[in-house]
Amino acid sequence: MPSREEKLSTIQKIFSGSKGILAADESVPTAGKRLESIGVPSTPETRQKYREIFLTTPGIESYLSGVIFFDETFRQSLNGKSFPKLVEEKGIVPGIKVDKGAVDSLEFPGEKITVGLDGLPARLAEYYALGARFAKWRAVITIGNNIPTDGCLIKNAGILAEYSKNCLDAGIVPIIEPEVLLDGEHSIEKSEAITTKTLRITFNSLKNLNLPLNEVILKTSMVVPGNKSGEPMDPSKIAEATVRCLKNSVPAEVGGIVFLSGGQTPVQATVNLNAISKLKPLPWPTSFSYARALQGDPLKIWQGKDENILAAQAVFLKRLKLNCAANRAQAEQSSYDGNRGEYRGEE
Ligand code: 13P
| Domain 4-343, second-level architecture | Alpha-Beta Barrel (3.20)
pTM: 0.96
- Write down the mean pLDDT value for the chain: 95
Query: What is the rounded distance in angstroms from the CA atom of residue 120 to the CA atom of residue 117?
Result: 5
pLDDT tens, residue by residue, 81-105:
999 999 999 999 999 999 999 999 9
Q: Which of 7, 97, 136, 219 is catalytic?
A: 219
Query: What is the rounded distance in angstroms from the CA atom of residue 322 to the CA atom of residue 290?
Result: 13
Q: Is 81 helix (H, G, I), strand (E, B) or coil?
A: strand
| Ligand 1 atom at shortest distance from the alpha carbon of 138 | 10
Give the pocket of ligand 1 (CB within 6 Å): 23, 138, 177, 260-262, 290-293
Q: Is 107 helix (H, G, I), strand (E, B) or coil?
A: coil
Query: What are the extents of the domains in the chain?
Result: 4-343
pLDDT tens, residue by residue, 33-75:
999 999 999 999 999 999 999 999 999 999 999 999 999 999 9
Between the CA of 294 and the centroid of ligand 1 the distance, in Å, is: 10
Residue 219 a catalytic site member? yes
Strand partners, 140: 179
Q: Which of 26, 177, 179, 215 is catalytic?
A: 177
pLDDT more than 90, % of the chain: 94
Q: How many residues does the chain have?
A: 347
Q: Whose CA is nearest to atom 5 of ligand 1?
A: 291
Taken in order 104, 110, 112, 118, the sign of the CA dihedral is: negative
